[in-house]
């Protein structure tokens, strides 16, 4: 087996295991070498089987986060998993719909749920601090805002789950 063949197999495996994250990267990639190979995968679509783990882990994540909400945990410990999961759901929905994803498209989910630009920026700032193991900034967000954010993630997940069910 050649090194390039092994790389192709690894890429195909990565697409099968984690299409929500790999396919968007491939679509945005600019080839230096093997442009034809990249083009082959650029239009790949996730399969029902390849998204099964994502569906399972999203259900589990939402159940855990719902418990954090019930316990009225610290906001950063609620914001991080919700924004992380919302990003994954947003990317997956874009893949399933064959649409481009963007930061603005992601932010639109928050705006449609009634979050102001300031609140959406605070959510992202807290998410980035927690991701970077830095102290979260002070925020004007409330526990009620976290419930609303949870609802946005859950509604988005339900839409994706419906689309997933229809996949072959």
The structural domains of the chain, ordered by start, are 3-42 (no CATH), 48-165 (1.20.120)
- Residue carrying structure tokens 């997933």: 164
Asked if the model's pLDDT at residue 146 lies above 60, the reply is yes
Asked if the model's pLDDT at residue 1 lies above 60, the reply is no
Q: What Å distances lie between residue 100 and 34, 95, 97, 168, CA to CA?
A: 23, 8, 9, 22
Sequence-ordered list of residues with C-beta below 8 angstroms from that of 153, at least 6 positions apart, any chain: 62, 65, 82, 85, 86, 89
CB atoms within 10 A of CB 85: 21
Summarised one tens digit per residue, pLDDT across range 29-87 is 776 777 777 777 777 788 899 899 999 999 999 999 999 999 998 999 999 999 999 99
Select from 145, 144, 87, 89 the least CA-distant residue to 116. Answer: 145
- Percentage, residues of the chain above pLDDT 90: 67
Asked if the model's pLDDT at residue 8 lies above 70, the reply is yes
Backbone dihedral angles phi then psi of residue 102, each to the nearest 5 degrees? -155, 160
CA 93, distance to chain mean position in Å, is: 9
């Amino acid at each position: 087996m050649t090194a390039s063949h092994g790389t192709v197999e690894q890429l195909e495996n990565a697409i099968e295991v984690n299409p929500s994250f790999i396919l968007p990267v491939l679509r945005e990639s600019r080839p230096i070498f093997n442009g034809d190979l990249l083009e082959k995968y650029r239009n790949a679509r996730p399969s029902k089987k390849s998204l099964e783990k994502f569906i399972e882990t999203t259900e589990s994540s939402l159940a855990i986060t719902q418990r954090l909400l019930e316990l009225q945990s610290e906001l950063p410990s609620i914001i991080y998993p919700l924004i992380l999961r919302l990003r994954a759901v947003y990317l997956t929905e874009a893949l399933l719909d064959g649409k481009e994803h963007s930061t603005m498209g992601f932010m639109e989910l928050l705006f449609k749920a009634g979050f102001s630009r300031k609140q959406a920026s605070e959510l992202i700032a807290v998410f980035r601090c927690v991701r970077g193991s830095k102290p979260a900034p002070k925020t004007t967000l409330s526990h009620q805002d976290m419930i609303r954010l949870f609802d946005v993630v859950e509604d988005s997940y339900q839409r994706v789950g419906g689309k997933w069910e229809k996949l072959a």
